[in-house]
Amino acid sequence: MATNHTHAVHPDDGQVHAHIASSQFYWGIFGGLIVLTLLTVRVSYYDFGQANIIIAIVIATMKASLVAAFFMHLRHDSLFNTIAFLAAFLFLAIFILLTYDDLGTRARETPTYIQSGDPRTGEMAPGGPPATSATAVEVGGEAPKQAPQKKE
């Protein structure tokens, strides 16, 4: 069978199929991704409180959808591939977000938690009082050693 034969379109026959789109189309998607990146940076300069992270994730999901649908051809694949793909990303999201959540709900940071000191002179950097043992107990850590204050 040396002749070329055309395959009928199967929903999922395990073969890799070509989906040729114009490069102009791909540049268009690229432009959309750039615009959304600029948007997410711009938006980060405003403080929406708890909504900050939601907004960031919504914009990121819009970008991810563009990449998955067009660059990764999921738009032209069977729905099953999309479901398998989303399942993989769901577990990645659990992996990242639960760790991130741990970070956010651990000790609340106050300005007194960070204290600079020069070990050679014992001089403390300006910018707030040294951390006290009370704040250290609050986070279950050791009380930071307080360097001797410089005589005035």
What lies within 8 Å, CB to CB, of 115 at 6+ separation is 124, 125, 128, 129, 130, 131, 144
Report, in Å, the least distance between residue 45 CB and other proteins.
8
Residue 125 touching other proteins (CB under 8 A):
yes
Residue 69 touching other proteins (CB under 8 A):
no
Report, in Å, the least distance between residue 105 CB and other proteins.
10
Task: Tell me the sheet residues that pair with 124.
Answer: 117
Residue 18 touching other proteins (CB under 8 A):
yes
d(CA 116, CA 131): 10
Residue 119 touching other proteins (CB under 8 A):
yes
* CA 14 vs CA 73, 78, 81, 138: distances in Å: 15, 11, 11, 57
Residue 117 touching other proteins (CB under 8 A):
yes
Residue 148 touching other proteins (CB under 8 A):
no
d(CA 141, CA 65): 42
Residue 71 touching other proteins (CB under 8 A):
yes
Q: What does the block give as tokens for 28?
A: 């268009």
Residue 79 identity (one-letter amino acid): L
Q: Which residue among 57, 77, 82, 128 contacts other proteins (CB under 8 A)?
A: 57
Q: Which residue among 29, 32, 64, 77 contacts other proteins (CB under 8 A)?
A: 64
Q: Which residue has the tokens 């403080």?
A: 47
d(CA 18, CA 20): 6
Q: Which stretches of the chain bind other proteins, using CB under 8 A?
A: 16, 18, 40-41, 44, 47, 52-53, 56-57, 59-60, 63-64, 67-68, 71-72, 89, 92, 96, 99-100, 102-103, 106-109, 113-119, 125, 131, 136, 139-142, 144
